[in-house]
Amino acid sequence: MRNKKTLYPIVIISLALGLFASWLYNSYFTLDPNPQRADIDPGLEQKKQDEQEKNEIAQQLGEYTVLLLGVDTPKGFKTRTDTIMLATVDTETRKARLVSIPRDTRVKIKGAWDKVNAAFVYGGIDLAKKTVEDFLGVQVDRYIIVNFNSLTQIVDAVDGIEVDVPIRMLYKAENIDLYPGRQTLSGADALAYSRFRYTDDGDIGRAKRQQEVIEILSKKIFGVEGLKNLPELVKLMQENVETDVPVREIFALAKLAPDIINNKIVSVVVPGKNEKIDDLWYWSPDLAKLEQQLRTSTDEIHTIAKSETNQNNNL
């Protein structure tokens, strides 16, 4: 059975935020102890070596799925999950898909209809995984549980993120007070932006903004801002992330990180409609449309672009 405990959270949270750990891998694990001959281009030789390593990783891992749960409580506490996403990585094409499941989505949990975010309360990570597996018809390989409130500190550690706020966002009960326009958000404002749900598209818009924040933040963590604040990021992630990803897989995935980020993550939000059933409001999923979106996005992440193929063959 898999070891279900926290292992090197700095690298794991980066899987949810763009696989930031590639910097660590490249800094400490790809140094060539053998000097290159003068007649050999060091850059070309390194590219060939890197490509070979990546192909070996693809053979070992294949398609890889990670369940990401965002909660508002410290590690070890069971609560309704505020964010539910399933990341699928095709290690051969080095592409990824992120499926967001609105927290009020109506699913079956232990044979009874309920909101998907209740699964973690009833049975912890095991029941949350099974619920998502049954709903999406996939096998979940690993999981990451993140205290979503740590987002504020992580964003501040990389000097904020730039987004285009589409409308006035005001909800004083949750300290949300944003004006429309392109701007750099602090950690507190980034959390407010990703949580605001009082728009025409409700939780669907909320899920899309969460995906947007993750993508933007991943690029900053992977860039200069993340590297210069590495010690602070390490501490934050150690305190706020729980996972069962083994160290071996951490560094294997980290090696693929730059390619995955450059290929742009395919985003899907479970389609459906708000519906009142037995006096409770649910997000009723459109299963036919969802199946089509999953099929289309699966084909997309499994397809290697011709330019990529030709480039790899020329190495």
What three-state secondary structure class fits 276?
strand
Looking at the chain, the whole-number percentage of residues with pLDDT higher than 70 is 78
Asked if residue 247 lies in contact with residue 165, where contact means CB atoms within 8 angstroms, the answer is no
Q: What is the pLDDT of residue 280?
A: 94
- What mean pLDDT is reported for the chain? 79
Residue 225, pLDDT > 80, answer no
What are 106-135's pLDDT values in tens digits? 999 999 999 999 999 999 999 999 999 999
Going by their DSSP bridges, the two strands 241-243 and 142-147 should be labelled as antiparallel
Topology (CATH) of 9-306: Aminopeptidase (3.40.630)
Asked if residue 87 lies in contact with residue 15, where contact means CB atoms within 8 angstroms, the answer is yes
Residue 209, pLDDT > 50, answer yes
Q: What is the pLDDT of residue 109?
A: 97
- pLDDT confidence of 60, banded at 50, 70, 90? confident
- pLDDT confidence of 75, banded at 50, 70, 90? low
DSSP structural state of residue 105: B
Least confident range of 14-28, 104-118, 141-155, 257-271: 14-28
Residue 1, pLDDT > 60, answer no
Residue 275, pLDDT > 90, answer yes
More confident residue, 272 or 309: 272
Looking at the chain, the whole-number percentage of residues with pLDDT higher than 90 is 37
E-strand stretches of 91-201: 95-100, 106-109, 112-115, 142-147, 161-165, 169-171, 176-178, 181-185
- pLDDT confidence of 304, banded at 50, 70, 90? low
What number is the average pLDDT over the span 191-202?
Answer: 87
What are 128-162's pLDDT values in tens digits? 999 999 999 999 999 999 887 788 888 998 889 99
What number is the average pLDDT over the span 188-198?
Answer: 91
What number is the average pLDDT over the span 54-66?
Answer: 83
